[in-house]
Amino acid sequence: MAKIIPNGEATLDALRARPGALIGPAELAGAGIVRNYTSLNAWIARGALPPPVKLPGGFLRWRAGDVLDKLGLAAPAGDA
């Protein structure tokens, strides 16, 4: 099981501040959403994450706001 090296700057608050940002596994790990590729792949397989954007080279990225909305982690109304 390969551990994802988290992006230390990708906290939940940072993702909430930039909902249009494209994020990858390091940002998901930095925000405490996933820890390793096994859990990330399981979440993808069962549809727990929104559909990713596929970039050239096969890289998968997600819009931060879409992930937060899907997981119920978006800032409450009035807190944004």
Read off the pTM: 0.84
CB atoms within 10 A of CB 57: 5
Q: For strands 60-63 and 53-54, give the pairing.
A: antiparallel
**Who wins on pLDDT, 75 or 80?**
75
The predicted structure's pLDDT at residue 78: 61
- pLDDT (tens digit, 9 = 90+) per residue, 24-69? 999 999 999 999 999 999 999 999 999 899 999 999 999 999 999 9
- pLDDT (tens digit, 9 = 90+) per residue, 19-31? 999 999 999 999 9
The predicted structure's pLDDT at residue 59: 92
The residues facing 54 across adjacent strands are 60
d(CA 20, CA 43): 21
